[in-house]
Structure 1
Amino acid sequence: MTDFGLKVRMAVVGSILFAFYMLVGAFGLAMFGFGAWPLVLLGLLVLPVIQYKIGTWSATRRAEEMPEEGQYRDVHRMTESLCQDMGIDKPKLMVMQMGVPNAFATGRKGNGVVVVSTELLTLLQRDELEGVIAHELAHIKNRDVLAMVLGSSIAMMVGWVAYMVYMFGGERNIGSIFVGMIISNVAQMLVMIFVLAISRYREYVADDDASQYIGSGDPLARALEKISQGSQGRESQLDDSVSALCIFNADRSLLEKVFATHPPMEKRIEKLRG
């Protein structure tokens, strides 16, 4: 059962994002005229799907499908058992060199993908790896991956609209283009604040779900400790958009901490062991 708090957050944030989405549609009607409403409606329906497909492809483009035999056989059997307990279809399993020990889930329930790094597979013990996979499966089960991807898509469109509104209302020169880009980024960040209201909480929920399905929070806590320590001094090869979906995302600068996609690692570990 999906956490009630996560359901409420997704419903509230979803309603707010839908309102922003309607503003994008209103801008389209104002720009092209009411007679173009079929074109605007088509764009509103198609653009998120295209961005979702592109986002999924971008996140997994360097990954390879994990063979079901050989060294990965136990990983597949472990995943199948967890999926049966969670009542979800088994996602596609993929492996990728990420530069750091990490894992992420993308896609939707019934058509999900779990990607683990080669660095993670060599670092963790079996029960620790089971905790990580259970965490990623919980994200797919709770549908919060889809909410994150769509939220980011809407934020991008709102930023584009803010830029276009500014440019149509003023002179077009190098200075105005620069100011327009700043306004666009600010508008995008404001929308992303609502998405982050889901992002940090969903990690706690996935941690809790994983601990319930594997019977204890300690294996996942140990895995998070090893992932955090194993990432120190190493450069991640993942884009920021993909890092936001990972089980671990190091926040370096003050701005990154303010707009952190993940709660502090020490708090997650403490909660798992509490």
Structure 2
Amino acid sequence: MYCDQCGSRLSQASSRCPNCDSAPPLPPSAHFRSRPGGDGADDARGKKPEPRFDPAAPPTQRSRRWGPSLLLENPWANLAALATAWLNLPLVVLFSAIGAIFGAVAGLFSGGLAGPGVLSRLDLVLDLFVPLPVDVEELLPTASVLIGGTIGAIIGAVNGALNLAYTGLVAPWTLLWQLNPVWPIALLAGQVVCALALAIGYVFYTRYTERSALYLAGARRPSRREAELFLPMVATISARMGLRSPPPLLIDDSRAPKAYAAIQHIVITRGMLEVLGYERSMVSGVLAHEIAHIKHGDAVAGTWTKAIALPAFLVFEIAYRLRARSGLFFALFALFAWSVLVCVRLVVMPLNASRSRRAEERADREAARAGYGTGLYNALATLGTGFDGARTGWDRTVLASHPPFELRLEALEEPGGLYPLPNSHAASVRRDPDTRLYKD
């Protein structure tokens, strides 16, 4: 028997590793409790003591998280997805932009002699492209009509955007109410039911076709040697985290250092293993982080939000792929899909990315509680220069799926430990041949 943290040989009677003082691999009867002597008080750094793995704790087992509580984990993103794909939010955004443009033009000229003539011509254009029961004069408050110029344009843009946004939000439901008071309620209920049915079907489809999709993406089953190395580690980590059965592990031969958890499977690339030097504790830390994602169903929650907004995401993907094309058709498609892109990119995706960052922090904590914090810390320190990349711009900050690298390291630091920069400890661990999964 070998220690899954440092690789030292253990006797059958060993209760702790003589080299790193960690608990040896244990059967699924183990679980966690608070660290010895912990009473919930803050430590010297102001952090609550995290519960640690304890082999002497009574047996318990937990299944993977699945159910309504998981699907409702991210309510604001789910509501934004529902509004974007099913409740006309892109239409409201489009009307708001049209109102801002026409209001700004009208406000710019309204204070001069050309004001009345400009407003009447804008009415013709508005009736031609956006036939709404709104006149251009209604987009301008009295102050804008009197002032004109730059200030009038600003006032007209704001008032026009709010006016047409309100019209786009209320007008469809008002028209239905005038025809039959039951129709708005029936339409709303029908849209919600269709959204939920599509989302449930898409999540189950993704779950049950996941293995085939991962194979097509380049993943494969572990070889005999890889299975002998990694499957016991996955089983031990799953037991420590309270899972009834370990998730399947797949290997991707890509040289990019990546590891991720899907709904049911864990995928780790050969590039990740090579960068970590096949060092036991760091590989265990990475696997523990991904198994924590499986335990909490993080991939299910993310897929659920995307499934609710699936029609909008399809338009978003098509528009994104066609963004570099030229021609009248692509220009018209981009014009009409613009509001969908705005809603998905500025509303749905940031909320989903925020949930993803919280899930990453929770997976780090879960791995540390199971006794793999040091290995995960060293793995992150080793991969830090190329793990998350630069965090600049909208994509790298608001839409980032991972928290900042250095803050993840800080959360994994033990009270009283020494963590100097640069991360020389991780480099020394990686070069130590005694901690390799196999010897050269």
TM-score normalized by structure 1? Answer: 0.71
Higher relative contact order (CA 8 A, sep 6+): 1
1:263 matched residue in structure 2: 403
What RMSD over aligned residues (CA atoms) do the two structures have, in Å? 3.7
Deviation readout 1:55-102 (Å, 9 max, x if unpaired): 7754552101113x3243121001111111212221111100233212
My pick for the range that moved more, 179-188 or 263-272, is 179-188
Partners of 2:83 and 2:344 in 1: CA distance: 15
Could you list the runs of 5+ residues in structure 2 that have no partner in the other structure?
1-31, 33-49, 51-68, 89-172, 174-183, 318-327, 415-440
Q: Within 5 Å, which residues of 2 pair with 1:1-274?
A: 11=72, 13-14=74-75, 16-18=77-79, 20-21=81-82, 24=85, 40=194, 43=198, 45-50=200-205, 57-61=212-216, 62-67=218-223, 69-88=224-243, 89-107=245-263, 112-124=264-276, 125-159=279-313, 174-189=330-345, 190-213=347-370, 215-229=371-385, 231=386, 248-251=387-390, 253-258=392-397, 259-274=399-414
- Cα 1:149–1:158 change in 2 (3 A) is same
Deviation readout 1:98-120 (Å, 9 max, x if unpaired): 3321200101xxxx101111112
Could you list the runs of 5+ residues in structure 1 that have no partner in the other structure?
164-171, 232-247
Q: Which amino acid aligns with 1:262?
A: H
- Cα 1:43–1:136 change in 2 (3 A) is closer
How far the C-alpha of 1:143 sits from its partner, in A, is: 1.2
Deviation readout 1:102-147 (Å, 9 max, x if unpaired): 200101xxxx101111112223210110000000000011111211
Q: Which amino acid aligns with 1:105?
A: A
Question: Rg: which structure is higher?
Answer: 2
SS in 1 for 2:74: helix
Q: Which amino acid aligns with 1:255?
A: W
How far the C-alpha of 1:255 sits from its partner, in A, is: 2.3
How far the C-alpha of 1:160 sits from its partner, in A, is: 5.4
User: Are the counterparts in 2 of residues 159 and 186 from structure 1 also a CA contact under 8 Å?
Assistant: no
Partners of 1:226 and 1:40 in 2: CA distance: 46
- Cα 1:216–1:130 change in 2 (3 A) is closer
Partners of 1:197 and 1:253 in 2: CA distance: 16
My pick for the range that moved more, 94-103 or 138-147, is 94-103
User: Are the counterparts in 1 of residues 262 and 299 from structure 2 also a CA contact under 8 Å?
Assistant: yes
Identify the structure with the greater helix proportion.
Answer: 1
- Cα 1:20–1:103 change in 2 (3 A) is closer
Deviation readout 1:148-186 (Å, 9 max, x if unpaired): 1222333443455899xxxxxxxx965431122322221
- Cα 1:120–1:160 change in 2 (3 A) is closer
Partners of 1:161 and 1:103 in 2: CA distance: 29
SS in 2 for 1:66: coil
User: Are the counterparts in 1 of residues 80 and 348 from structure 2 also a CA contact under 8 Å?
Assistant: no
Partners of 2:252 and 2:314 in 1: CA distance: 32
- Cα 1:26–1:15 change in 2 (3 A) is same
2:436 matched residue in structure 1: none
- Cα 1:103–1:16 change in 2 (3 A) is closer
Partners of 1:22 and 1:218 in 2: CA distance: 43
Identity among equivalent positions (%) equals 22
Partners of 1:102 and 1:256 in 2: CA distance: 19
Count of residue pairs the alignment pairs up: 234
SS in 1 for 2:265: strand
User: Are the counterparts in 1 of residues 198 and 308 from structure 2 also a CA contact under 8 Å?
Assistant: no
User: Are the counterparts in 1 of residues 84 and 343 from structure 2 also a CA contact under 8 Å?
Assistant: no
How far the C-alpha of 1:220 sits from its partner, in A, is: 0.7
- Cα 1:26–1:162 change in 2 (3 A) is farther
TM-score normalized by structure 2? Answer: 0.46
2:109 matched residue in structure 1: none
Partners of 1:184 and 1:22 in 2: CA distance: 11
Partners of 1:160 and 1:100 in 2: CA distance: 28
